[in-house]
Structure 1
């Protein structure tokens, strides 16, 4: 079952109505209910609505962010952290947008806003939301690194897709407490996590995450990168590079001890081959991983 087989010509926001024809009817009602239970902070769709326009306005983005004073303060604090490495302190959003650009400021705002969904304690105790958030931001940071160093996709598009690639996993843990433990039992018995989800739920967290992202207003390529990050070669051609990039970043951060689930092994041979990440390129990326992942602590407020 593919939640996103219909693809518009541009990377425009999608809605659940646009996707409904390709969602298994017996799952659509469940996905819709979970989307309503797990709705993100209102700031997320507002920021996306501005940032996904054909010509996003820096002024419109500033005005949206400034509606939330707490978000504005946290955003400026984060932008002035060592992670972004600005020479001079930035004291206002207008300057921040002019220095960093709309896409980067959008991603900072979304990182802060979406972190709220990962603060609630686990309902059934199988997954640690804080660990999952660390994994999500780590994947985002490393996806940006791969994109920058290897010239694959736009670095900020890579960061955003990495940030939300496991959106469905936290929702399963928080809102399906009767089923999540059954998945975990199969996993601890040696079964692959995604296969365990398919057996128990008849869908997996990537499919659910794609649906959730469509409801919020993420663009098509981001949605398809979420859906296919465990099977990037099955992604539509326009989204295959981004899906493969997220798969590779997911693999690298898990190898470095920033996995979403303890003891989980991630395989990404097909993604690494598709992206032409030779041993030489991988060695170069590996040498930069420690510094990149150290910066994640500032993004996750650890």
Structure 2
């Protein structure tokens, strides 16, 4: 590790420990949606009215509900029908995830490209997570989708820091090293600050623990397998691991040595990724 990488990593870790690191906040519309959804007495109409304040988000929700992933016999033509079809909790989780796209933007071209690349990776893993959850577990696919969308959230403050520090902008190798080392720690902090559900709060760190042993399959397992499947066939170091020795595949009931299962679901996974991206 270079002196520059070590120094900046230490600065960021100290800022985290002192609560001095500026963490991203959820977009305003996502905060209002989550607040409304937490009200046990909220009606479908009230939640739809909150979401309707963001026209682009409303349109995307209707598009998702009418997609092959969720489509019912009746075409959904308005937001209230969409919320009624999905239910309050599912709608809130999906809307939160879709609204997060607003966070992955920057003012400099270099960092903006990186932000968009991180969001693209996140939506890819989220799409695969949705399909894996639906077909191989009894967990909630909306939670799995959201887990996939936030698994790299800790990269955001590091890229924002780099945007303010020209030495990092000019040294992509050092920046990548810092991101790899500390984004899981920062990600866990962000999800705790956002008061995410407990099963999702440690997704940024837990999805990288390849020998973890939970009592039963969980969302970190789903995201871990989805992340690995997304890099299959690449030069990524994780793609070179012996996946047969990674317990999360067995907990999902998947054989990592067989491509057939993934091929069977590939069209559905691609549809999910396209919708979220």
Q: Structure 1's 75 and 275: CA in aligned 2 closer, same or farther, altered over 3 A?
A: closer
Contact kept, 8 Å, 2:69 with 2:272, in 1: the verdict is yes
Contact kept, 8 Å, 1:183 with 1:197, in 2: the verdict is no
Secondary structure class of the residue paired with 2:185: helix
Q: How much does 1:109 deviate?
A: 1.6
Instruction: Please tell me whether residue 230 in structure 1 is matched to residue 208 in structure 2.
Output: yes
- Matching residue within 229, 237, 246 for 1:265: 237
Task: List structure 1 segments (4+ residues) > 6 angstroms apart after TM superposition.
Answer: 53-56
Whole-Å Cα distance in 2 between the matches of residues 66 and 79 of structure 1? Answer: 15
Whole-Å Cα distance in 2 between the matches of residues 56 and 240 of structure 1? Answer: 31
Q: How much does 1:252 deviate?
A: 0.7
Contact kept, 8 Å, 2:44 with 2:88, in 1: the verdict is yes
Instruction: Please tell me whether residue 101 in structure 1 is matched to residue 73 in structure 2.
Output: no
For 1:209, the equivalent position in structure 2 comes to: 187
Aligned residues: 259
Q: Structure 1's 287 and 240: CA in aligned 2 closer, same or farther, altered over 3 A?
A: closer
Contact kept, 8 Å, 2:217 with 2:248, in 1: the verdict is no
Q: Structure 1's 246 and 121: CA in aligned 2 closer, same or farther, altered over 3 A?
A: farther
- What is the RMSD of the two structures over their aligned residues, measured on CA atoms? 3.6
Kindly name which structure, 1 or 2, has the bigger radius of gyration based on alpha carbons: 2
TM-score normalized by the length of structure 2: 0.75
Q: How much does 1:295 deviate?
A: 4.1
Unaligned stretches of 5+ residues in structure 1: 1-23, 188-192, 258-262
TM-score normalized by the length of structure 1: 0.70
- Listed one character per residue, the Cα deviations across residues 46-90 of structure 1 (whole Å, up to 9, x for unaligned) are 222344567875444323213334432343244334554344332
- Listed one character per residue, the Cα deviations across residues 76-131 of structure 1 (whole Å, up to 9, x for unaligned) are 24433455434433222221122222333223322331111224366645963222
Larger relative contact order (CA 8 Å, sep ≥ 6): 1
Q: How does 1:104-183 map to 2 (within 5 A)?
A: 104-120=90-106, 124-125=110-111, 128-177=114-163, 178=165
